[in-house]
Chains A and B, each alone.
Chain A
C-alpha cells in the first residue's frame, strides 16, 4: 500500500522528469545555429561543415552554441550573440535589410528585366517577319495573275 507522501511525490517526480525530458527535446539542434554562421578559422566554410577535424575556432564554438541553446536561448538569440561578438561577417549570408537587400533582390530583377527585353525583341522580330510575308504576298499576287493571263491568252490563241 502506498503512503500518502508517495502519492504526492510520484506524480510530482513524473512531472519533473517529463518536463526535463521536454526541455531537453525543446533545445534546438546545434545545426540551427551552426548552419547559419561561418567558421572563423580561415577555412571560409559554414561552421557546421568546417573540414578541419581539430578546428581551433569551430569546435569550441559548436560546444558554446550547444550550451547556450540548452540554457534556453533561441537560435536567433545565439546568432545575435555571435554577430555582437564578431560582427556581421560571421553570418553565412547577408542580412535582408539595408544595402544588403540588393544582393537578394538584384538577381530576380535582372532576370525579370532580361525576360522583358527578350519578350519585346522576339516580338519585334516576329512582327518584322509577318510584315515581310504580307509584302511578299502582295508582290507575288499580281505576278500570279499575269501568269494566268498569259496562259489564258495562249489557250485562246490555240482556239484561234
Chain B
C-alpha cells in the first residue's frame, strides 16, 4: 500500500505538471483538444489523490507500522474513531490532506464550468494545477513530508508511538479538516481572479462565478476557527479558548481578509467600483491561507501545533514568493484596465461604511500579522527576540474589535447611495435607545469596566438594528402579501438569502462577542488541595470532594475525582475531572469536566493527585456567558448556510448573463 501511495504521488506530480501546460498550449494554439485534455487531467488528478488518501487511511486503519507516519501517530491501543484524526496529526498527512481537498475541489470546479466561463477555465485549471504541483512535489522531494515513507530498516515495529492525547478529542477530528476546507476553498476565487486578469475579463464575472465558493471557504474557515477554540477550551484545561498562538493567528488572518472581501465585492457588483481593491483582497487572502499552512507546518515560529521542519520552510517560502510575484505583477500590468468610474452619491452611504468595515478588518489582519512576525523582525533589528503573546493582542485588538462591532451595527442603518440626515435620525433612534437601556440596566446591575460595558452596549445596539431589519421587512410582507408574521419572516429570508443570511451571521458574531466579553472580563478562578470530604468555594458555587477512583487501561492510568457541585444550598450535580498518565509516551494529560449553563460554565480541572492519600489539587474556573460563544458560532454557521443556499432567481439571472456574454462573444 505504501508503494502504491508513493507511486500515486509521483503520478500526481506528472499529471499536475501536464495540467499546467496543456490548457495554455490549447488556448495559445487554438487547439481545443489540449484544453479538453487539461480538463481531463484535473479529473485524473482527483482520482489519483483520492487513491493516495485511501492508501494512507488503509495503512492507518491496519496499523501498518512499517509506514513511519502510521508508526508516529497511531498505536494498537488507539481508539478506531481517532484513527481518522491521525491522518492530519502530522506534517506529511496535512500536506496530503491539502492536496486531496484541492484535487477534489478542482474537479468540481471543472465540472461546474464545463459549459460556461470557457475563456477563463484554461487559466483557472493551470493556476490550480500549479498549486497541486507544489504540494505533490513537497511530498515527494522533502522526505519528512512523505506520508508513505518507511521506517528505517523497513521492518515494522511491534507497536506505534501513539497519537498525542491532546488530539484525542472529537474537536480534533473536525477542526483541522474544516480549516483546510476553508484554506483550500479560497484557492478557487483566487484562481478565477488571476484568470480574469490574464484574459482581461475584468468585470464582476469572476466574482459572481465564485461567490458561493468564497462563501463556502469563509464558512468553513469560520467553523474551523470556532472548532479550534472549542477544542482548546475542552482539552487544554486552562479555562480559556484562544491564546493568540501563532497557529490560531494563522487561521484568523485569512478569515479577516476573507470577510473584508465578502463585503467589498458587493460594491463591485452594485457600482462596478473597487476592482483593484478586490483583487488585492483575494490575493492577500490566498497568500494568508498558504502562509497559515506554512506557519503551522514549518515551525518558523514555534507553537503548540507546529513541527520544526527546516526543509519544508524553504519550499513554502519559495512557493509564496513565486505566487506573490506572479499575482502582483499581473495585477500591476492590468491596472489601466481595472480603472473604474469611482463615484459615490454622498459622503455618508452604505458604500462608505463598507470601506470603513474593510479598513478595520484589514487593519486587524495587519495587526495580527505584525504580532506574528514581530519576534523575527525584532530579532533582526535589535538582536533581541521579543515575544508577542496574549497581553499584546488583547491590548491592541480589543479597541479595534469594538470599533468593528460599532460599524457592524451602523452599516445596515445607512442607506445605499445616499443617507440623509432625516433617515439617519429615523434609523438610529431605536437602536440607540436600546443601547442606552442596556447600558443603564447593566450599570444598575453592578456591571463595571469600560470595555465590557461598551461591548455589551454595542451588542444591544447591533442586535436591535438587525431585529429591526427583519421586523420591517416581515411587516411589509405581512401587509402586502397578507402572510402571518412568522411566515413573512421565513419567506423574507428565503427570498433574499444573501442579505438576510448575512444579517443572521451578524447576530452570530455579536453573540460570540458577548461570550468573549463575559468570559474574559468576568472570569474567576480558584485552586485548592482537597482531601475527601473537604470543600472549596468559588463564585457562589461549592465543590465537595466525594470520592477518588483510579484504574489502568492498556495505554494509560486514569485518576478520577468525583465532586458534588452546589450553587448556594442547591444541589446541581456531580463533576468528575480526570487526570491520565500515558505509559508509552511518559506523558500525563488532564481531562476537564464542566457544568455548563447559558449564564456560566463551572470548569473543573484535576491538576494533581496522590494515589496513596487521595489528596487532589483542583483548579476551578467560572466562565460567565461562555456558552454564547458557541451559540454565536452555530448562528454564524446557520447564517452562512442560508447565504450560500442556491438561489434560483440569482442563478437564472447569472445564466442569462452567461448566455448574453456567449452571444456577444460569438458576434
Q: Does A118 contact B (CB under 8 A)?
A: yes
Interface residues on A, range: 35 or more
* Residues of chain B in range 379-404 having any CB-CB distance to chain A below 8 Å: 381-382, 384-392, 395-396, 400
Which B residues touch A48, using CB under 8 A? 238
| A72 within 8 Å of B (CB atoms) | no
Nearest Cβ in chain A — how far from B646, in angstroms?
Answer: 35
Rounded to whole Å, the gap between the CB of B277 and the closest CB of chain A is: 10
Q: Is there an interface contact between B304 and A103, defined as CB atoms closer than 8 Å? A: no
Give the Cβ gap from B11 to chain A, nearest Cβ, in Å: 39
A39-69: CB near B (< 8 Å → 1, else 0) gives 0001111101111011000000000000000
Q: Is A123 an interface residue (CB 8 A)?
A: yes
List the B side residues contacting A114 at CB < 8 Å: 359, 362-363
Mark each residue of chain A from 113 to 132: 1 if its CB lies under 8 Å from any CB of chain B, else 0. 01100100111011011001
Name the B residues within 8 Å of A99 (CB-CB). 378, 381-382
The reply to whether B391 and A53 contact each other, CB–CB distance below 8 Å, is no
- Kindly state the separation between the CA atoms of A87 and B383 in the bound complex, as whole angstroms: 12
Tell me the A90-141 residues at the B interface (CB within 8 Å): 90-95, 98-100, 103-104, 106-108, 110-111, 114-115, 118, 121-123, 125-126, 128-129, 132
Least CB distance, B407 to chain A, in whole angstroms: 12
Interchain CB contact (< 8 A) of B237 among A53, A93, A104, A108: A53
Q: Which B residues are in CB contact (< 8 Å) with A153? A: none
Contact indicator B579/A53 (Cβ below 8 Å):
yes
Question: B386–A94 contact, CB under 8 A?
Answer: yes
> Taking the complex as formed, is B303 at the interface, i.e. its CB lies under 8 A from any CB of chain A?
yes
Cβ-defined contact, A92 with B387, below 8 A:
yes
Known: A53-B579, A129-B345. A103 touches B371 (CB 8 A): yes
When chains A and B are docked, how far (Å) is the Cα of A54 from the Cα of B387?
23
Residues of chain B lying within 8 A (CB to CB) of residue A36: 391
A88 lies within 8 A of chain B by Cβ: yes
Provide the bound-state CA to CA distance between A14 and B239, in Å.
39
Q: Mark B341-380, 1 if CB is under 8 A from A, else 0.
A: 0111111000110011001101100110011001001100
**Given B391, B392, B588, which contacts A54 in the complex, CB threshold below 8 Å?**
B588
Chain B residue at minimal CB-CB distance from A87: B384
Chain B residue contacts of A87, Cβ below 8 A: 384
Which residues of chain B are within 8 angstroms of A106 by Cβ–Cβ distance?
A: 370
Q: How far is the CA of A38 from the CA of B390 in the complex (A)?
A: 10
Interchain CB contact under 8 A, B390 and A92: yes
Is B300 part of the binding interface, using a Cβ–Cβ cutoff of 8 Å?
Answer: no
Shortest distance in angstroms between A117's beta carbon and chain B's nearest beta carbon? 8
Interface of chain A, main secondary structure: helix
Nearest CB to that of B389 among chain A residues?
A92
Q: Is the CB of B347 within 8 A of A123?
A: yes
User: What are the residues of chain A within 8 A of B359 when measuring CB–CB?
Assistant: 111, 114-115, 118
B29 CB to nearest A CB, Å? 44
Residues facing B in A1-41 (CB within 8 A) are 31, 35-36, 38
A89 within 8 A of B: yes
Q: How far is the CA of A89 from the CA of B303 in the complex (A)?
A: 14
* A107 lies within 8 A of B370 (CB): yes
The stretch among B240-248, B443-451, B594-602 that forms the contact with chain A is B240-248
Known: A35-B391, A94-B378. A88 touches B302 (CB 8 A): no
Contacts of A92 in B (CB 8 A): 387, 389-392
Question: Chain A residues with Cβ under 8 A from B239's Cβ?
Answer: 49
Contact partners of B345 in chain A: CB under 8 A: 126, 129
Chain A CB count within 10 A is highest, among B352, B359, B367, B389, for B389
- State which of B240, B396, B589 has its C-beta within 8 Å of the C-beta of A104: B396
A128-B378 contact in complex given A51-B238, A107-B363, C-beta closer than 8 Å:
no
The answer to whether B240 and A126 touch across the interface, beta carbons within 8 angstroms, is no
Contacts of A129 in B (CB 8 A): 343-346
Per-residue 0/1 for B213-250: is the Cβ within 8 Å of any A Cβ (1 yes, 0 no)?
00000000000000000000000111110010110000
Which residues of the other chain, B, contact A42 by a CB distance below 8 angstroms?
302
Cβ–Cβ < 8 Å partners of A111 in chain B: 359-360, 363, 400
> Chain B: which residue is nearest A44 at the CB level?
B303
Q: Which residue of B lies closest to A115 (CB)?
A: B359
Inter-chain contact A126/B346, CB cutoff 8 Å: yes
Q: Which residue of A lies closest to B363 (CB)?
A: A111
Known: A89-B386, A118-B356. A128 touches B243 (CB 8 A): no
> In the complex, what's the smallest C-beta–C-beta distance from A140 to chain B, in angstroms?
18
B381 contacts across to A, CB distance below 8 A: 99
Question: Which residues does chain B contribute within 8 Å of A93, judged by CB atoms?
Answer: 387-392, 395
Q: Is the CB of B243 within 8 A of A89?
A: no
A43 contacts across to B, CB distance below 8 A: 304
B325 within 8 A of A: no
Residue of B nearest to A131 (CB): B343
- Cα–Cα, bound, A111→B342 (Å): 22
By a CB distance below 8 angstroms, the chain B residues around A108 are 396
Q: How far is the CA of A49 from the CA of B244 in the complex (A)?
A: 12
Bound-state CA distance A5–B343 (Å) is 93
A128/B237 in contact, CB under 8 A: no
Q: Is B166 an interface residue (CB 8 A)?
A: yes
Binding site for A on B (CB under 8 A): 166, 236-240, 243, 245-246, 302-304, 342-347, 351-352, 355-356, 359-360, 362-363, 366-367, 370-371, 374, 377-378, 381-382, 384-392, 395-396, 400, 525, 579, 587-590, 607-608
What residues make up the interface of A, taking CB atoms closer than 8 Å to B?
31, 35-36, 38, 42-46, 48-51, 53-54, 87-95, 98-100, 103-104, 106-108, 110-111, 114-115, 118, 121-123, 125-126, 128-129, 132
Which 6 A/B pairs are nearest by Cβ-Cβ distance?
A92-B389, A49-B238, A93-B392, A107-B367, A93-B391, A94-B386
The 23 listed contacts between A and B (C-beta, < 8 Å) are A36-B391, A38-B389, A45-B238, A49-B238, A51-B237, A89-B384, A92-B391, A93-B389, A93-B395, A99-B381, A107-B366, A107-B370, A114-B359, A115-B356, A115-B359, A122-B347, A122-B352, A126-B343, A126-B344, A126-B345, A126-B346, A128-B343, A129-B343
Beyond A91-B387, A103-B371, 5 additional contacts (C-beta under 8 Å) are: A51-B236, A88-B385, A103-B378, A104-B392, A125-B344
